[in-house]
Amino acid sequence: MIQTLHQRVEASLQLLSKTYEIVYVNDGSKDATLSILLGLRSKNQNIKIVSLSRNFGHQAAYTAGLHYAKGNTIIMMDGDLQDPPELIPEMYKKAEKEELDVVYGSRSDRKESWFRKLAFGLFHKLFKKVSRFPIEGNAGNFCLMNRAALEAFLSLTEKNRYLPGIRAFIGFRQGSVSYVREGRENGKSKMPLARLFKLAIDALFSFSSLPIRICVVLGLIGITASLVGVLVVVVKKINGEAILGWTSVMLSIYFLGSVQLFFLGVIGEYIHRIFVESQNRPLYIVNKFYE
């Protein structure tokens, strides 16, 4: 698949300029990926390879590649060909014509399983509504940026990263190009549902106050329910009615206990993020850069 990816990317870039570079990031792969990339590089010196010391994850690998990109116009995209390289010339022309700093791909549809389509759709709708600033729904990592936008993008150094959120945060003049995201042709995705869920959580905790607001709302609901319960007990006592309540008491304890555990979980997520940022460990470590 790497050869096919390279052919399509190279063909798209050659339509725009004879001067270009392609930066591949080897995110600690244990197969023949690096050997294949080195073989391609031996035939084309426009290829640069950033080989990381281990797998640091999708968002960190992207960031590594962007740090090593030298061009005035930068395109970032996955290597699984679900985002079509043939869209690059259209993105570039749109940026030039409309004087845009950022052009991102907006997915009008996805050729994936119904479950993934549903999950991604729900996340993007939720994130668009709860984010603290305007953000386009159904927009992934695939985009074009000029140097000014990239410098601003890289100035944000948080460790728990959600790149589409960072891209929206920096502002600048942005536009989109619509396309249908293809299904994965070869191999298995290195982003299983567990990692995608973590990415969604990172997005919500980093760019929205929704989690803590949920705690506040649930807390208010619990307080209201407790006050209503107290009022009912007082009224029944005044009327001389017996309170039959073992089941209701136990259910109340379980409910309030669950709410408290949920609160602790949310607070723990924020504390963990503060801890990770305070450690100030590098986002990635480069084993070798093939320039």
Per-residue pLDDT reduced to its tens digit, 180-218: 776 555 555 555 556 666 666 666 666 666 666 676 677
Query: How do residues 134-143 score in pLDDT, each as one tens digit?
Result: 666 677 788 8
Which whole-number Å values give the CA distances from 210 to 136, 198, 241, in the listed order? 18, 16, 43
Question: pTM here?
Answer: 0.64
**Model pLDDT, residue 229:** 66
The answer to whether 136 and 175 have CB atoms below 8 angstroms apart is no
Residue 183 or residue 164, greater confidence: 164
Residue 80 CA to its chain's centroid (Å): 16
Beta-bridged to residue 139, according to DSSP, are 106
DSSP of 106-133, one letter per residue? EEEEE-S-HHHHHHHHHHHHHHHHHBSS
How many CB atoms within 10 Å of residue 69? 21
Query: Which contacts qualify for 221-226: CB closer than 8 Å, 24 or more apart?
Result: 222/255, 222/256, 222/259
Model confidence band, residue 167 (pLDDT cutoffs 50, 70, 90): confident
The answer to whether 6 and 38 have CB atoms below 8 angstroms apart is no
Phi, psi (5° rounding) for residue 144? -120, 135
Alpha-carbon span 38 to 27, nearest angstrom: 15
